[in-house]
C-alpha cells in the first residue's frame, strides 16, 4: 500500500493507495477563480507552481494556460512527474526555489502551496523574505495555502496560525490588496484554507 500526497493514476500504482490530499477540489476552485477573472484570455496566461510535488496542478493548468513552469527539488517528486505527467516534465526545473527565486521571470499566476509553514517553523524572518520574492514574481494572482493550527503533525509549531492570522500576514508582507479565502479543504489530516491573493 502506498501513501500518495496528490491524486495520481491509483490503478497504475495500487488500488488500495491512500491519497492524503484530494487536490481536485483546490484545482477546481483555482481554475474557477481564474476563469471568472480572465474569461477566454486565461489561455494567454502563464502559470508557475513553486514546489509542484507530483505535478498535479501543473498538469491541470497546462490544459488552460499558454505556459506552465514548476520548480521542484525533491528527487522522488521529480521522478514521479516524469512517470505520470511526461507531457509537462520539460516544464519542470529541478532546483531549490529559495535559491532560484531571484532569477525567475514574472508569471501571471503563481501557486505557493504547502511550503511556507516549513520556512516559518525554521525562520519566520527568512519566510517573509521568500514571500516577498514570490510576490515580486507574481504579475496578478498568487494561490496560497499552508499548515494551520489544529493539524496534528504541526500542533505546537503552528499554534496561532489560522485563517485570519494567515490572511493578515499575507497582506502585511506583500503588495497584494486582496487575500480572498476561496475554500477550506476537506482532507481529514489537513483542513487548510486556500487563498487567492491579487491586486485591484
Give pLDDT, residue 9: 57
pLDDT at 192: 92
Question: Per-residue pLDDT tens for 108-167?
Answer: 999 999 999 999 999 999 999 999 999 999 999 999 999 999 888 776 889 999 999 999
Cell of 195: 487563498
Q: Is 40 exposed, middle or buried (0-12, 13-18, 19+ CB in 10 A)?
A: exposed
- State the average pLDDT for the chain: 91
Q: How far, in Å, CA of 122 to CA of 127, rounded?
A: 8
pLDDT digit string, tens, across residues 52-64: 998 999 999 999 9
Q: Does pLDDT of 4 surpass 70?
A: no
pLDDT in tens, 169-181: 999 999 999 999 9
Q: Which has the higher per-residue pLDDT, 81 or 49?
A: 49
Residue 101: all three cell numbers together: 527565486
Asked if 78 contacts 30 with a C-beta cutoff of 8 angstroms, the reply is: no
Q: Is 162 left (phi over 0), alpha (psi -120 to 50) or beta?
A: beta
Fold of the CATH domain 22-198 = Rossmann fold (3.40.50)
pTM as predicted:
0.93
Amino acid at each position: 500500500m502506498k501513501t500518495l500526497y496528490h491524486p495520481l493514476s491509483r490503478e497504475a500504482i495500487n488500488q488500495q493507495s491512500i491519497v492524503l490530499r484530494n487536490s481536485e477540489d483546490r484545482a477546481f476552485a483555482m481554475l474557477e477563480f481564474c476563469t471568472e477573472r480572465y474569461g477566454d484570455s486565461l489561455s494567454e496566461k502563464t502559470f508557475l507552481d513553486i514546489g509542484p510535488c507530483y505535478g498535479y496542478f501543473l498538469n491541470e493548468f497546462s490544459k488552460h494556460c499558454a505556459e506552465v513552469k514548476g520548480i521542484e527539488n525533491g528527487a522522488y517528486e521529480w521522478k514521479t512527474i516524469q512517470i505520470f505527467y511526461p507531457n509537462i516534465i520539460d516544464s519542470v526545473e529541478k532546483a531549490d526555489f529559495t535559491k532560484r527565486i531571484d532569477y525567475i521571470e514574472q508569471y501571471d499566476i503563481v501557486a505557493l502551496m504547502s511550503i511556507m509553514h516549513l520556512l516559518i517553523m525554521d525562520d519566520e524572518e527568512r519566510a517573509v523574505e521568500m514571500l516577498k520574492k514570490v510576490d515580486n514574481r507574481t504579475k496578478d494572482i498568487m494561490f496560497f495555502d499552508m499548515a494551520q493550527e489544529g493539524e496534528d503533525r504541526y500542533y505546537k509549531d503552528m499554534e496561532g496560525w489560522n485563517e485570519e492570522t494567515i490572511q493578515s500576514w499575507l497582506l502585511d508582507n506583500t503588495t497584494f490588496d486582496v487575500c480572498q479565502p476561496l475554500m477550506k479543504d476537506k482532507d481529514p489530516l489537513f483542513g487548510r484554507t486556500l487563498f487567492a491573493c491579487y491586486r485591484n
